[in-house]
Amino acid sequence: MRLFNTLALLPVLAVLIARPLCAQVTFGPSGAEGEPFRRQQWRVPSTDPEIAAHALLFRPAGAGPFRLAVIAHASTQNVLRRAQMPQPEYRALTAHLVARGFAVLVPERLGHGATGGRYVEDQGGCDEADYARAGRATAEEISLALDHLRKQEFIRRDAAVVIGHSAGGWGALALASADPEAISAIIAFAPGRGGHANDEPNRICAPHTLLAAAAAFGKGARVPVTWLVAANDSYFAPKFSQSLADAFRGSGGKVDFRVLPAVGSEGHWMIELEAGVNAASRELERALNLQKPVATRKP
Give the pLDDT mean for 76-85. 95
Q: What pLDDT score does 20 carry?
A: 46
Q: What pLDDT score does 290 carry?
A: 57
Q: Which amino acid would we find at residue 88?
A: P
Q: Which residues pair with 104 in a beta bridge?
A: 58, 69
| H helix runs in the chain, sequence order | 2-17, 79-83, 91-98, 131-150, 167-174, 207-218, 238-250, 274-279, 281-288
Banded model confidence at residue 289, pLDDT cuts 50, 70, 90? confident
Contact between residue 257 and residue 227 where contact means Cβ atoms under 8 Å apart: yes
- CB under 8 Å to 159, separation ≥6 — which residues? 67, 184, 292
Q: How far is residue 164 CA from its own chain's centroid?
A: 4
Q: What is the rounded average pLDDT for all residues in the chain?
A: 91
pLDDT tens string 119-151: 999 999 998 999 999 999 999 999 999 999 999
Q: Which amino acid would we find at residue 278?
A: N
Give the pLDDT mean for 3-15. 43
Q: What percent of the chain has pLDDT over 90?
A: 87
- Does the model's pTM come out above 0.85? yes
Give CB contacts under 8 A, 24+ apart, made by 28-36: 29/57, 36/91, 36/95
pLDDT tens string 166-198: 999 999 999 999 999 999 999 999 999 999 998
Count of CA atoms in the C-beta half-sphere (13 A) of 125 = 2
